[in-house]
Chains A and B, each alone.
Chain A
Amino acid sequence: MNLTINEVAKCLNLPLSTLERWIRQGRIPIYKNDKGCVFKKSALEKWAVTHNLSFSFPKEGVERQSNSEMENLLPAIKRGGILYDVMGDDVKTALRSAVENIPFLPEDKKDELYETLIERENLTSTGIGKGIAIPHPRAPLSNVIENSAIITCFLEKPVNFGAVDDKPVFVMFILLSTSTKIHLHLLSRLAFCMRDNSFVEFLKTSPCAEAFFAKIADFEKQLDKAKT
Chain B
Amino acid sequence: MGILKSWRHPAGWAIFRLDDRLFLIFVAAIVGICSGIAAVVLNRSLVAIFEWIGQFRHYWWSFVLPAIGAALSSLFLEKIVKEGAGHGVPEVIYSVSRYGGLLRLRSSFSRLISSCLTIGSGGSAGPEAPVVMSGASIGSNIAKFFSLNDRQRVTLVGCGAAGAISSIFNAPIAGMVFAIEVIIGEWKAINIVPIAIASVAGTEVSRMLQGNRIAFSHRQFNIDLIDIFACLGLAVVAAAASILLTRTLRFMSGISSRFSSPLWLRAAAGGCVVGIIGIFLPIVLGEGYHPVKTMIEGNFSQGLAIVALAALAKIVATSMTLGWGGSGGIFAPCLVIGSLTGLAYHRGLVLLWPSVSWVNEGCFALLGMAGLVSGILQAPLTGIFLIVEITGGYNVILPLIVVSSISTSLCHYVEPASFYLKDLVEHGQLLRPGTDARVLADLSVFELLEKDCITVKQNMLLRDFINIVKNSHRNYFPVEDEKTGYFLGMIHLDDIRPYLFNSGMYDVVFLGQIMNTEVEVVNPDDELSEILRKMDANHLFSMPVVSNNKFAGMISKATLLDQYRKELMVQTCD
CB < 8 Å neighbour of B569 from A24, A25, A53? A53
Q: Cβ of A59 < 8 Å from any Cβ of B? A: no
Cα A26 to Cα B155 with chains together (Å): 11
Sorting the interface of chain B by its residue count into under 10, 10 to 19, 20 to 34 or 35 or more gives 20 to 34
CB distance from A102 to the nearest CB of B (A): 34
Set of chain A residues within 8 Å of B471, measured between Cβ atoms: 227
Set of chain A residues within 8 Å of B151, measured between Cβ atoms: 25-27
| B149 lies within 8 A of A50 (CB) | no
| B467 lies within 8 A of A51 (CB) | no
Set of chain B residues within 8 Å of A53, measured between Cβ atoms: 566, 569-570
Q: In chain B, what residue has the closest Cβ to A54?
A: B566
Chain A 21-63 interface 0/1 with B at a Cβ cutoff of 8 Å (1 = within): 1111111100111100000000000000011110000000000
| B100 lies within 8 A of A24 (CB) | yes
Sorting the interface of chain A by its residue count into under 10, 10 to 19, 20 to 34 or 35 or more gives 20 to 34
Q: Cβ of A123 < 8 Å from any Cβ of B? A: no
Set of chain A residues within 8 Å of B409, measured between Cβ atoms: none
Set of chain A residues within 8 Å of B446, measured between Cβ atoms: 15, 17
CB < 8 Å neighbour of A15 from B5, B149, B447, B569? B447
CB < 8 Å neighbour of A51 from B9, B100, B149, B569? B569
Set of chain B residues within 8 Å of A31, measured between Cβ atoms: 17
CB < 8 Å neighbour of B152 from A14, A21, A26, A50? A26
Q: In chain A, what residue has the closest Cβ to B2?
A: A34
| B570 lies within 8 A of A34 (CB) | no
| B566 lies within 8 A of A25 (CB) | no
Given the interface pairs A15-B447, A33-B12, the reply to whether A52 lies near B150 with Cβ below 8 Å is: no
Report B433-477 residues with CB < 8 Å from chain A CB. 442-444, 446-449, 467, 470-471
| A51 lies within 8 A of B447 (CB) | no
Q: Cβ of B248 < 8 Å from any Cβ of A? A: no
Tell me what chain B mostly uses at the interface: helix, strand, loop, or mixed.
Answer: helix
CB < 8 Å neighbour of B467 from A15, A18, A26, A226? A226
| A34 lies within 8 A of B5 (CB) | yes
Given the interface pairs A51-B570, A52-B569, the reply to whether A17 lies near B150 with Cβ below 8 Å is: no
| A25 lies within 8 A of B149 (CB) | yes
CB distance from A47 to the nearest CB of B (A): 9
Cα A51 to Cα B471 with chains together (Å): 37
Q: In chain B, what residue has the closest Cβ to A23?
A: B149
CB < 8 Å neighbour of B9 from A14, A18, A32? A32
Set of chain B residues within 8 Å of A28, measured between Cβ atoms: 570
| A32 lies within 8 A of B12 (CB) | yes
Q: Cβ of B508 < 8 Å from any Cβ of A? A: no
Cα A51 to Cα B152 with chains together (Å): 19
Set of chain A residues within 8 Å of B566, measured between Cβ atoms: 12, 14, 18, 53
Q: Cβ of B479 < 8 Å from any Cβ of A? A: no
CB < 8 Å neighbour of A21 from B11, B17, B442, B449? B442
CB distance from B473 to the nearest CB of A (A): 11
Q: Could you write out 27 A-B pairs with CB less than 8 Å apart?
A: A12-B566, A14-B566, A15-B446, A15-B447, A15-B449, A17-B446, A18-B443, A18-B447, A18-B563, A18-B566, A21-B444, A23-B149, A25-B100, A25-B149, A26-B148, A26-B152, A32-B9, A34-B5, A50-B573, A51-B569, A51-B570, A53-B566, A53-B569, A53-B570, A226-B467, A227-B467, A227-B471
Q: Enumerate the 7 nearest inter-chain pairs by beta-carbon distance, A residue then B residue, closest first.
A: A26-B149, A26-B151, A25-B150, A18-B447, A27-B570, A15-B447, A17-B447
